[in-house]
Amino acid sequence: MPRHAVITGAAEGIGYALAAELGAHDYVITGVDVNAARATEARQILTEQGVHLHFLLGDLGEKSDLERLISALVAGPPIDLLVHNAGINCVGAFASSDLRQQQRVLDVNLRAPLQLTTALLRTEKLAAGGGIIFISSLSHFVGYPGAAVYAAGKDALASYARSLSVALASQRIHVMVVYPGPTRTAHARRYSPDNRREARRMAPEQLAAIIRRAYERRRCSVIPGFGNRLAALLGRWLPGLTEWTMRKTLFDRLTSSLE
């Protein structure tokens, strides 16, 4: 019998790749996304590939939309896997940034996953033996100068997941956190100050396959790719070096490009 996966931000990027990957491995997919045109295109493409996918449209950063999306999911079939993937960013020096946009980053990246998870747990929509995947970020280990609020939200999501995993163990609901590094997506391209080496970033299809296999093995955390694992190790043991590198390769370029 097919399992049911809910994926936020499923119309493109990592979410789209996860929909394709899970859909090819006996999951029926409910995607959540704000981009109606892209959702329609994604559904057409994946349906032709044999993936059973439909979308719930709404903005996770808007309170009324989030409540409507929650109601639709609660009224729907039991959920075997919930993937919190949707995320937005706001880059530049924090002191000169748009604080309303920074608040929106927290609303989409942190508040929405917390509220959605709480509502589905309270209504017992998450099936026993199922799981929740939180897409955090490599910034948890190396920082993200120029996107401090994004990094803060992803850090909080990882900490929340760690505590939640303990609380849900008795219900046999598995919790896994993923810490992706640079990925070859439109999102990464949009916020990166330098895309000349984009081809070196991990393909979202490769990342999605790693995530699925790790989840099936009941891993608790995943840092995909040797280079990312090395960066995380350096972030733990040589934080000064990592901070200097991130400032030179990211923050200085971000702030100069926005001047």
pLDDT digits (tens, 9 = 90+) for 27-51: 999 999 999 999 999 999 999 999 9
CATH 3.40.30.10 fits 3-258, yes or no: no
pLDDT digits (tens, 9 = 90+) for 127-175: 989 999 999 999 999 988 888 999 999 999 999 999 999 999 999 999 9
Closest by CA position to 133, among listed 194, 187, 178, 180: 178
155-to-150, 215, 240 alpha-carbon distances in Å: 9, 20, 19
Residue-range domain boundaries for the chain = 3-258
Closest by CA position to 10, among listed 24, 30, 37: 30
Q: Is the pLDDT of residue 74 over 90?
A: yes
Q: What is the pLDDT of residue 193?
A: 66
Which one has a higher pLDDT value, 203 or 247? Answer: 203
Q: What tokens does 129 get?
A: 């033996």
pLDDT digits (tens, 9 = 90+) for 190-218: 776 677 778 889 999 999 999 999 999 99
